[in-house]
């Protein structure tokens, strides 16, 4: 006899004191019953998927239309309604939409979801994204009046779209008492499973709820309680078995095959997966392989069968054999022309749709990219020499990055006894609020002052928190500004509401905001910061896609001004070498992810953008000119090799 309640009553144990016997009428369907009833929901007889929502095609850009049909062909097997009527429930695999950041991937995906859920009305889509981006999804669903409830599992308050019976039952039993986060999440999860809707969840929360062994044994009592809930078998089973479609926004995030999130995603049953990423190639080909295995879980097996020879004997398991063969295939790409690049491209082309961003070139006023090489002050030079003997490359990289911004940032670091003897901490303390003491802070203050005169807002990114907090203090002291008015600050600790408030203030033309200081890690993906037209990358990261994503917060559809980018590099440090490595990784990305619009010049080099009047004024100013060692406008790789090679 079939179990009447396949997910079990224990699933509801977190709904406070609710009597579980009252929940019989609210039990979940299992995945089998969902698919059995799916064919009865079909209401369209002829034409193509474009006919499901009349007129929608005209509201989309050409690259979005191509992407829309590409998703349909991969997820469901085609776009003809008659064909889909017969096969929509027995076909489908994953694909990657690699459209440049800021070109409307969210809008494209929403249109696909609208049409797909119209045909397959029992489908249970899940959107997994960085936590901050779930609010963007919520806004987009409202903006486009989708009419399908979106349940944000990370939002610990009800949206008004939840299942009414579940909410009423919760309130009836809990009353006016505070509802804990578990009960709120359970109602959202129940609403998604019961009604036609979409579930949104962050990568971190999905890992907690659907992964294994999240917390090691021996943790605190509090941690063990968290584990008890997070690893609840019923919730885990729902998240792994119920989704009929998986959308992974910034889908390059789970690229480490040893991470808990990668392992959790590999256990999700559905093969219908969409990765959205403007930067699928992050650091190396090994990470790319892991990303391809996320979107197509059987990619490794198929790759092994399609490549010449079988290295299974050499590598042992089939999985390690696939990775070994992949490493052999990709090791020479970019170094010689032995045809392996063409082999790789042919392999991924059927399920990777690429758009490099020509729509931005055609639609926006322009982009001017400058690498600004600055000469460190005498004190900065001396401090760089003090720490140059560090054996740890990571420590050296970190310390050099801080000193390159402002010497007083060394006060936040642990120094060796030898280094302590060479550092005058009292001097550094007195210089703390003096931007002239640091070459990058000096550059920033002048750039911000001149930008304000032109009514332009400045966006400053750093991968580290200490430089951002120091610059915030200096801005408040130097210009007599206040945080929340002229100065905004965003890092990973900011809650969703304050974060959204910052974004809205920056983008409001009538606001008094002059500067937004933002953590690269927390704010470089998925958010719209078109209110800024000057973007400063304060330090250099090894991964070029991080910078590309940061730039795209301002250079994206909706921008009304020319966007000026400043990559700040301090001479005499390893920042130049890091930037050169970035260029090499960028070159590999360009080689592998080509597209139909590759014949069109890149927007960085083709936009008709005049001289940067602000930078020009700074260079010509007698008190500023000696700070510049070199400026590379619209830099090419050859220019970087000459400068930093």
pLDDT tens-place string over residues 118-135 = 998 899 999 999 988 898
Can you tell me which residue has the tokens 């309680």? 225
pLDDT of residue 544: 86
Residue 594 inside a domain? The answer is yes
Apex CA 541: angle with CA 535 and CA 542, to 5°?
140
Residue 307, phi-psi category: left (phi > 0), alpha (psi -120 to 50), beta (remainder): beta
Is the CB of residue 533 less than 8 Å from the CB of residue 559?
Answer: yes
Write out the residue range of the structural domain in which residue 324 sits: 298-351
Residue 387 inside a domain? The answer is no
Is residue 289 located within the same domain as residue 333?
A: no
Q: Which residues pair with 487 in a beta bridge?
A: 483, 515
Q: What is the DSSP letter of 556?
A: S
Burial of 385 by CB count in 10 Å (0-12 exposed, 13-18 middle, 19+ buried)?
Answer: exposed
Residue 70 inside a domain? The answer is yes
Apex CA 479: angle with CA 478 and CA 482, to 5°?
110
Is residue 550 located within the same domain as residue 445?
A: yes
Q: Please give the structure tokens belonging to residue 637.
A: 């790789």
Is residue 188 located within the same domain as residue 282?
A: yes
Residue 421 inside a domain? The answer is no
Residue 200 inside a domain? The answer is yes
Residue 103: closest CA among 63, 132, 140, 139: 63
Residue 374: closest CA among 51, 628, 109, 30: 628
The CATH number assigned to the domain holding 584 equals: 3.40.50.300
Sign of CA dihedral 132, 136, 141, 143: positive
Q: Please give the structure tokens belonging to residue 627.
A: 């700070």
pLDDT of residue 390: 86
Is residue 323 located within the same domain as residue 443?
A: no
Residue 465: closest CA among 532, 520, 536, 528: 520
Is the CB of residue 296 less than 8 Å from the CB of residue 114?
Answer: no
The CATH number assigned to the domain holding 49 equals: 3.40.50.10810
Is residue 90 located within the same domain as residue 208?
A: yes
Is residue 313 located within the same domain as residue 264?
A: no
pLDDT of residue 521: 83
Is residue 477 located within the same domain as residue 512?
A: yes
The strand ranges marked E within 192-328 are 198-202, 245-249, 273-276
Residue 317 inside a domain? The answer is yes
Can you tell me which residue has the tokens 């959205």? 276
| Last-in-domain residue among 314, 334, 351 | 351
Is residue 327 located within the same domain as residue 284?
A: no
The strand ranges marked E within 239-366 are 245-249, 273-276, 352-355
Domains in the chain, number: 3
In angstroms, rounded to a whole number, what is the distance separating the alpha carbons of residues 231 and 224? 10
Is residue 326 located within the same domain as residue 280?
A: no
**Which run of H or of E encompasses 487?**
strand 487-490
Rg (CA), the chain: 27
Is residue 601 located within the same domain as residue 620?
A: yes
Is residue 345 located within the same domain as residue 467?
A: no
Residue 578 inside a domain? The answer is yes
* Other CB atoms within 10 A of residue 113 CB: 22
Q: Please give the structure tokens belonging to residue 15.
A: 């709904």
pLDDT of residue 11: 37
Can you tell me which residue has the tokens 């903006």? 143
- pLDDT tens per residue across span 208-225: 999 875 444 444 455 555
Backbone angles phi, psi at 444, to 5 degrees: -60, -45
Q: Please give the structure tokens belonging to residue 274.
A: 């969409």
In angstroms, rounded to a whole number, what is the distance separating the alpha carbons of residues 339 and 135? 44
pLDDT of residue 126: 98
Low-confidence ranges of the chain (pLDDT < 50): 1-41, 176, 214-220, 227, 230-231, 310-313, 315, 599-608
Its pTM stands at 0.83
Is residue 273 located within the same domain as residue 314?
A: no
| Last-in-domain residue among 297, 320, 337 | 297
Residue 422 inside a domain? The answer is no
Sign of CA dihedral 312, 313, 316, 320: negative
First-to-last CA distance in the chain?
72
Residue 481: closest CA among 454, 458, 498: 458
């Amino acid at each position: 006899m079939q179990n009447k309640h396949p997910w079990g009553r224990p699933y509801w144990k977190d709904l406070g004191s609710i009597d579980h016997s009252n929940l019989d009428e609210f039990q979940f369907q299992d995945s089998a019953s969902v698919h059995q009833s799916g064919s009865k929901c079909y209401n369209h007889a002829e034409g193509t998927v474009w006919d499901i929502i009349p007129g929608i095609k005209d509201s989309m850009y050409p690259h979005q239309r191509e992407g829309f049909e590409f998703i349909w062909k991969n997820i469901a097997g085609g776009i003809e309604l008659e064909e889909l009527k017969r096969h929509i429930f027995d076909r489908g695999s994953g694909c990657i939409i690699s459209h440049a950041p800021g070109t409307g991937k969210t809008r494209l995906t929403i249109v696909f979801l609208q049409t797909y859920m119209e045909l397959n009305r029992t489908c249970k889509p899940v959107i997994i994204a960085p936590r901050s981006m779930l609010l963007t999804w919520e806004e987009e669903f409202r903006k486009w009046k989708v009419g399908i409830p979106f349940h944000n599992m990370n939002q610990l308050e009800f949206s008004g779209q939840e299942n009414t019976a579940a909410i009423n039952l919760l309130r009836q039993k809990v009353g006016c008492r505070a509802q804990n986060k578990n009960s709120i999440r359970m109602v959202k999860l129940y609403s998604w499973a019961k009604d036609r809707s979409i579930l949104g969840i962050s990568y971190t929360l999905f890992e907690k709820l659907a992964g294994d062994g999240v917390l090691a044994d021996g943790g605190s009592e509090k941690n063990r309680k968290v584990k008890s809930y997070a690893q609840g078998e019923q919730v885990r089973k729902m998240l792994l078995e119920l989704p009929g479609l998986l959308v992974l926004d910034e889908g390059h995030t789970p690229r480490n095959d040893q991470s808990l999130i990668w392992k959790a995603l590999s256990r999700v049953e559905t093969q219908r997966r969409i990765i959205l990423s403007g930067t699928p190639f992050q650091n190396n080909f090994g990470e790319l392989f892991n990303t391809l295995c996320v979107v197509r879980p059987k990619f490794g097996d198929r790759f092994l069968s399609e490549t010449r020879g079988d290295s299974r004997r050499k590598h042992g398991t089939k999985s390690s054999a696939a990775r070994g063969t992949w490493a052999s295939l990709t090791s020479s790409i970019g170094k010689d022309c032995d045809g392996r690049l063409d082999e790789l491209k042919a392999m991924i082309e059927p399920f990777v749709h690429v758009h490099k961003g020509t729509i931005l070139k055609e639609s926006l006023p322009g982009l001017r990219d400058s690498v600004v090489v600055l000469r460190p002050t005498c004190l900065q030079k001396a401090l760089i020499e003090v720490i140059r003997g560090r054996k740890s490359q990571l420590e050296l990289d970190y310390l050099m990055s801080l000193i390159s911004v402002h010497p007083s940032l060394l006060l936040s670091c642990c120094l060796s006894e030898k280094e302590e003897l060479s550092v005058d901490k009292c001097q550094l303390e007195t210089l703390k609020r003096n931007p002239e003491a640091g070459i990058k802070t000096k550059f920033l203050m002048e750039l911000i002052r001149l930008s304000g005169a032109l009514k332009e807002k400045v966006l400053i990114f750093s991968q580290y928190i200490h430089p951002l907090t120091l610059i915030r203090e200096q801005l408040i002291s130097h210009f007599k500004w206040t945080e929340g008015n002229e100065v905004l600050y965003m890092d990973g600790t900011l809650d969703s509401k304050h974060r959204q408030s910052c974004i809205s203030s920056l983008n409001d033309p009538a606001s008094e905001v002059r500067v937004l200081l933002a953590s690269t890690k927390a704010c470089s993906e998925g958010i719209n910061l078109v209110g800024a037209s000057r973007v400063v990358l304060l330090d250099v990261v090894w991964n070029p896609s991080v910078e590309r994503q940061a730039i795209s917060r301002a250079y994206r559809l909706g921008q009304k001004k020319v966007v000026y980018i400043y990559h700040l590099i301090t001479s005499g440090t390893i920042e130049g070498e890091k930037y050169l490595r970035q260029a090499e990784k960028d070159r590999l990305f360009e080689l592998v992810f080509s597209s139909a619009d590759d014949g069109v010049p890149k927007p960085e080099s083709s936009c008709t953008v005049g001289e940067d009047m602000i930078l020009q004024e700074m260079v010509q100013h007698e008190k500023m000119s000696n700070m510049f060692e070199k400026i590379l406008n619209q830099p090419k790789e050859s220019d970087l090799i000459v400068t930093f090679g």
